[in-house]
Structure 1
Amino acid sequence: MSDSPLRLLLDFDDRFQRDRDQSAAFLHRRDRRFALDCEQQGKTPDVARWLTFMDRLSGPGGRSDTSRRDLKRWRSVNTGFAIAGSVLGILTMTGLLFYDGGQRINITVILGFVALQLLLALATTLQPLFGGQPWAWLLRRLGRPPTTSALTRLQPFLMARAAHIGGAGFAATGLLTLLAMIVVQDLAFGWSTTLDTAAPSYHSLIRQVATPWAWLWPSAVPSMDLVEATRFFRASAEVGGTDPQQWGQWWPFVVMLWVTWVLFPRVVLLALSQGLLRRRARRLLAGHPGMQALLYRMETPALDTGSAHNDADDLPDIRTRSAPDRLPDTNLLICWAGTGDSPLPAALEDPGTRIFKAGGRATLAEDEEVIHEVARALEQTREPAVVLVSRSWEPPTGELQDFLLEAREHWPRNTRIALLPLAPNPLQRPADGPLQTWLRFAERLPGGQASVVLPALEAPEIHPTGSTLP
């Protein structure tokens, strides 16, 4: 198994999602057994060894291909950017070096284009640090949205790396095209500008640009005589007394200009983007909600009560230690998985209520947008609270738990999240069984992140033990 931080994160997140169907006791015994085996072998238990252990434990066919498919999608995206950048580099350099024998190839235009490429490379490197995703529209058109919350957080860095791969392909094919055209054509370079720029000023600019390679290739730094002799004016059709060979003496400068300020920065920034991606993946893996639970299970001995009571005729205990709470006073309402398509209780139909829709048919990008919009609204309230409305007969899913965990990272710490499971008839109280399922879901959320609430309805009150009080 690859020890790439990105691959480890995706594999761990996939295993974490699949382990939700297992009992806590089984997970504890399994992971504690792994820790004891590592201790016996003198090895330090880590994520890579744990995933290898899980693959061996699951046997053939027990490993999910979700992470492999995600990585394959991004490899295809990187390949597409590389091909597009390479083709564009050939076409662009061909256009820059177009020469019909009458007009000169303007060095000033090439300088401006190189400066533009350098700015684009720097912007591509900085955009993931601020959460920018300039290529998100392309991924949506390709129908490749992120499949996990971990991949969603990594998407800006993955997009930056893909853009740098395309930029590196652009710079490499542009250089090859430049060298090929220098060999097969007699190119004539010169310089011209509409501004009143004297040759000494232009030569000073050229020397500053050529500083990085002046010690390595002195002949690639144009002299003052060459700069004075190769200036041309658009309105002048005559070359004048300039030696024709001087028009071609700019090519070493153009080659080194492209290598130093286009190709080399792209390669360096591509390596930097790869490093930022790996660093971000390591941080997400270390802060993954399943990581602390895994470490706890590995470090804590598993206890067996020795109870031999395994009567299959006994019904499961659905009692909980909590009871539904009162509806908080807030105007922020999230309708989960299409709940808002049906009528809502009168207590929620306030004219000032802001209703958001998430889950169900909504994409991960739309869910994330809802989280950010609610976060901006919560910053303006003294007692932040959000009501999430769902259907009581539909049990809570892992998707909802991921949504709440993601929301907790962006909402204020003291935000109260109220889960409101509605009955088929919103004017009635939900049945005891579905309601207890939602209560147990709220109890399992780490840190008391959410509580189950009910609107003020005329119905019998549910006791914390699950019994109905008159």
Structure 2
Amino acid sequence: MSDLKAPTAASFFLYGRGSLSSSLFQWLSFHRFVHTEQILELDENIRPESLNEWLAIWRSQQAKSLQAPDGSIVFWIAAIMGVIAMSGLLAVGLGSPINLWLPLFLFAFLPLLMSLVTSTQLWRAETAPVTRKFGLLLKLLKLERHRDVLTESPRLMWPWLNWQLQRAACVFMVFALLTFFLVATFQELNFVWSSTFIQSSASMAQILSVIATPWSWMLPAPTPELVEAARFDTLGLAGEGTSYQSSQLWPFVIASMLFYGLMPRVALLILFRRQLKKRLTDSVEQSGTIEVFLNRQLQQVSQKALDVEESDAGIEHLAARVSESTSSLLGWRLSAGDAESRGLARNLGLDDWQVEAEWLASDAAVMPNPVRMMVGFWQTPTGELEDCLQQIKARNPQTELVLMEAPAAFTGSGTVGMAGEREQAQLLSWRYFAEKVTLPLVIEEAL
């Protein structure tokens, strides 16, 4: 089954409908479905032939069990907090100058420090349950009822929750900036500075120049004259002109908030999103959950469709003697001894694919008698064999698939109930494969 590969699953979960959050919670829901050994409910007429078809059926039946949460309430809370924080800061300065250090600390230096601390999560392999650190966020997102699912995948939930926090932090900063511009439109804002330890205006000008280094190429740092004019004691003794100069510090304040408050958050947002996408891709492609899901569904379908019972009554004379005189025999990757003893017209699957493709397209592939493809019972049904059988069947409508060297329980010398679980599972695989290629399945009876 060459089309049932992990990249197909990755494309289904990662590049299908919805956002990255939707993909994550769809995968968590799928992982939970497989982990609890659930089975899809299929109509009798439905026979999925590819992994995408199986996954589409699962999504239609089960994907709503765990949906991506609506984070709007978190973003609204962040927006309101940003408005309140900036309004409170500016309200202090209504009718009086605002200490320059307050907006720098609250909206530039403190967010920068928090961003640096959060960035350590990018390199730490977090395995602790997310409920310990993100309990409040999980409550706001209404995910507490899915606590058992979330704790199973900390490697995925840590970057996702950190990503959501950075999104909320960006909303906080954006609305704080919008509030600043709104207030500044209707009110003149004067920024001053004062310090017990920094007494020289020249030293303060140097400090502000260092702070302004990231954007100095497009916006110059405050000049020494402006810094001198914005000193609190100087402003108290100065006239209206100095007050006007101190109001010119607002570009520096905004630039500080953008470069130290907002941009690190945006960078972390991008990095956590990339980390989440990489981990989710690795989880889909390397976990083996897809194979477990597919094998369980295939086994269940075979069990229902073929209704294998404890006796050989359900085999409907699958055991048969293969006569060389009444049929044309082909083989699939049989040993040289088996091929010679059975007088095969051709032993396929061993030559170069181009050579075999030419033979299948030639007149030699049109057999005078009904064709029987001989395969070993313990071989694995593959997509390559399926393609070969489809080409043979197209030119020889009377084609059968014959299982060689089957256990005695499946031949005339025993009963199905005598077969072990492994033997019955192998027979189910071949019966499902035969149904897929729409060929009769025959078990060779020992001569």
Give deviations 1:121-165, integer Å, cap 9, x for gaps: 233343373537532255369644424254554332232122112
Aligned to 1:464: none
Deviation at 1:104, TM superposition (A): 2.0
Q: Secondary structure at the match of 2:147?
A: coil
Aligned to 1:108: 101
1:204 aligns to 2:206 (yes or no): yes
Q: Residues 99 and 187 of structure 1 are in contact (CA less than 8 Å); yes or no, is this contact kept in structure 2? A: no
Aligned to 1:410: none
Deviation at 1:184, TM superposition (A): 0.6
1:214 aligns to 2:212 (yes or no): no
CA distance in 1, matches of 2:252, 2:85: 18
C-alpha change, 1:195 and 1:102, in structure 2 (3 Å) is farther
Give, as a single letter, the amino acid of the residue that structure 1 aligns with 2:258.
Answer: V
1:146 aligns to 2:150 (yes or no): no
Task: After TM superposition, list the pairs within 5 Å mapping 1:176-191 onto structure 2.
Answer: 176-191=178-193
Q: Residues 198 and 204 of structure 2 are in contact (CA less than 8 Å); yes or no, is this contact kept in structure 1? A: no
CA distance in 1, matches of 2:137, 2:235: 46
Higher helix share: 2
1:168 aligns to 2:186 (yes or no): no
Deviation at 1:50, TM superposition (A): 4.8
1:120 aligns to 2:122 (yes or no): no
Aligned to 2:223: 223
Aligned to 1:96: 89
Give, as a single letter, the amino acid of the residue that structure 2 aligns with 1:156.
Answer: W
Aligned to 2:243: 244
Please, which of 55, 59, 77 is the counterpart of residue 51 of structure 1? 55
Q: Residues 124 and 164 of structure 1 are in contact (CA less than 8 Å); yes or no, is this contact kept in structure 2? A: no
Task: After TM superposition, list the pairs within 5 Å mapping 1:33-432 onto structure 2.
Answer: 37=49, 50-52=54-56, 54-55=58-59, 62-68=61-67, 71-72=68-69, 75=70, 78-100=71-93, 103-113=96-106, 114-127=108-121, 129-131=124-126, 133=130, 134-139=133-138, 143-148=144-149, 149-218=151-220, 221-233=221-233, 238-241=236-239, 243-293=242-292, 310-311=309-310
Q: Residues 118 and 265 of structure 1 are in contact (CA less than 8 Å); yes or no, is this contact kept in structure 2? A: yes
Give deviations 1:365-406, integer Å, cap 9, x for gaps: xxxxxxxxxxxxxxxxxxxxxxxxxxxxxxxxxxxxxxxxxx
C-alpha change, 1:237 and 1:190, in structure 2 (3 Å) is closer
Aligned to 1:2: 17
CA distance in 1, matches of 2:87, 2:269: 25
Name stretches of at least 5 consecutive residues in structure 2 with no aligned partner: 1-15, 314-420, 422-447
CA distance in 2, matches of 1:308, 1:9: 32
C-alpha change, 1:237 and 1:230, in structure 2 (3 Å) is closer
Q: Residues 13 and 150 of structure 1 are in contact (CA less than 8 Å); yes or no, is this contact kept in structure 2? A: no
Normalising by structure 1, report the TM-score. Answer: 0.51
C-alpha change, 1:88 and 1:309, in structure 2 (3 Å) is closer
Deviation at 1:111, TM superposition (A): 2.0
Give, as a single letter, the amino acid of the residue that structure 1 aligns with 2:206.
Answer: S
Q: Residues 189 and 250 of structure 1 are in contact (CA less than 8 Å); yes or no, is this contact kept in structure 2? A: yes
Rg comparison, structure with higher value: 2
Q: Residues 97 and 192 of structure 2 are in contact (CA less than 8 Å); yes or no, is this contact kept in structure 1? A: yes
Give, as a single letter, the amino acid of the residue that structure 2 aligns with 1:9.
Answer: W
Give aligned pairs, total.
Answer: 281
Give, as a single letter, the amino acid of the residue that structure 2 aligns with 1:121.
Answer: S
Aligned to 1:355: none
C-alpha change, 1:50 and 1:11, in structure 2 (3 Å) is farther
C-alpha change, 1:109 and 1:54, in structure 2 (3 Å) is closer
Root mean square deviation, CA, Å: 4.0
Normalising by structure 2, report the TM-score. Answer: 0.53
C-alpha change, 1:83 and 1:224, in structure 2 (3 Å) is same
Q: Secondary structure at the match of 2:237?
A: coil
Q: Residues 98 and 190 of structure 2 are in contact (CA less than 8 Å); yes or no, is this contact kept in structure 1? A: yes
% identical aligned pairs: 25
